[in-house]
Amino acid sequence: MLLLALLTFTGSSPPSAVARPPQGTTGHSGCTVLYAADEGGAYGGNNEDERNPLTWIWFVPGEDGAYGSAFVGYDDLVVQGGMNEEGLFFDALGVREVEVPGRPGKPESTGQSFVADVMGRCDSVDCVLERLDAISMPGTWNGQYLFGDRFGSSAIIEPLTVIRGTGRFQVATNFFQSEVPVADRRDERYLAATRLLDEATAFSVDEVRSVLEATRQNGTVNTVYSTIYELGARVVHLHYFGDFDHERTFDVRSELARSVHGYEIAQLFPPNEGADQVAAPIRARVAAVLAADATAGETDPAALEMLTGTYEIAPGIPLFIESEGGVLRARQPLTPWVDLAPASATEFVRVSSDGEGIVHEQLLRFQLAEGRATRIEITVDGGTSMVAVRSEASSPGLPLAAVAAGLLAAALAGAVALTRARRRHDSDSPDRARSSSRPSVARGHE
């Protein structure tokens, strides 16, 4: 969510939000991520399997030479995966917890700063692994990544090992391939995806779609969205809640030509009864918490202006606050703007749900001095708190590269998923483009 992820920077945290079984089977919580490349092009794909269909896609332009990216995630908008404007894609998958030791002599980083850095600066998997080799990310991991590029290269980054792709394709689900020999692998989604890709005579969007459709989940855990990335064309194909008959496509470079923006995925598709049934109780819990906390009603626009500005949790970790149309809203790097609901003239609330559908609340309490806010006390779920201090040097246009560098310089331990945020649904919906009936171990982190 918008602020909760910042709190994890000071502790040990995973690159994926939810731990999974060592070798999942269809019907269990988990995701399927794939990369495929041949003479016809390079493609990435992901089935996001979870309990929460409140999902989003958003676009964050790059500045100062950094690349912009399209990201996907849940209602709290922690980045789960995405593709940058140079055709580098990744997705994170949950696995069992692993303790990752530090690497003496290497600057410590977090999962957030690592992903921010490589998505802003890399166009290839070689670049990703070079930058990974230059840092240390100690802490408790419960996730792994699959990265792929438009040049035909891919790699799975496990907590302790990197597995380079060696053939036409690479598939990752929710177990460590470094620990399970090929002959012993039993994950049904992994087996189905590898079989279909191996049988394919040529790769295409339709071929990747057929693999995702064959590995989708339906039950307690559902495939809440599916993404297909045309890495050469920089196009994202999006499906919602296992519905492969309807699709939305996004030209990433065109979307990035606009300012930062995002869409709730459900609003881009026809009504989906299954998704609506699962989402209804989550939406009700979010609404109930928000109604209990945010009771102030309308807020004076002039008073809101005293609160606007850039604040820092730590050097290089900004929080941007602005007022638009009488509504106070906030964002962090790599996220769109999220509206804050007033609880008083100086207190504002953000309520959202994570991938599991668990509802979280955050209270921002502004402290005033000489006619403007100078600090924000941030409390999450009524417990953990932190302070953000107004910064005169930063601005909402702070380049992604500077943010990544600042995060690295802060030397904060752990490996976390990217910061999440939420904003109101953008009224400019994209046009509908279509409607139709982790190999050898290269090196480790030791």
What does the pLDDT look like over 47-102, one tens digit per residue? Answer: 999 999 999 999 999 988 999 999 999 999 889 999 999 999 999 999 999 999 99
DSSP letter string, 101-131:
---TTS-B--HHHHHHHHHHH-SSHHHHHHH
- The predicted model scores a pTM of 0.84
Average pLDDT of the chain is 84
Angstrom distances, CA of residue 412 to CA of 6, 18, 109, 112, 139: 11, 21, 6, 10, 10
146: number of Cβ within 10 Å:
29
Question: What 8-state DSSP symbol labels residue 384?
Answer: -
Q: Which amino acid is at 279?
A: A
179 phi/psi in degrees, rounded to 5? -100, -15
What does the pLDDT look like over 326-372, one tens digit per residue? Answer: 999 999 888 999 999 999 999 999 999 999 999 999 999 999 999 99
Beta bridge partners of 379: 363, 385
Q: Could you read off the pLDDT tens digit of each residue along the chain, which spans 446 residues?
A: 444 343 333 233 334 333 333 333 334 457 999 999 999 999 999 999 999 999 999 999 998 899 999 999 999 988 999 999 999 999 999 999 999 999 999 999 888 789 989 999 999 999 999 999 999 999 999 999 999 999 999 999 999 999 999 999 999 999 999 999 999 999 999 999 999 999 999 999 999 999 999 999 999 899 999 999 999 999 999 999 999 999 999 999 999 999 999 999 999 999 999 999 999 999 999 999 999 988 776 678 899 999 999 999 877 789 999 999 999 999 988 899 999 999 999 999 999 999 999 999 999 999 999 999 999 999 999 888 999 999 975 445 444 444 433 333 232 222 223 222 222 233 333 333 333 322 222 223 32
Residue 203 to residue 353: CA distance in whole angstroms? 36
**Three-state secondary structure call for residue 426:** coil
Angle, CA 22 vertex, CA 18 and CA 23 arms, to 5°: 115
Strands 317-324 and 309-314: antiparallel
Whole-angstrom Cα Rg for the chain: 21
**Buried b / exposed e along 64-99 (16+ C-beta atoms within 10 A):** eebbbbbbbbbbbbbbbbbbbbbbbbbbbbbbeebe
* Residue with the two structure tokens 């804050």: 340
Residue 278 to residue 120: CA distance in whole angstroms? 35
- By the 10 Å C-beta count (0-12 exposed, 13-18 middle, 19+ buried), 440 is classed as exposed
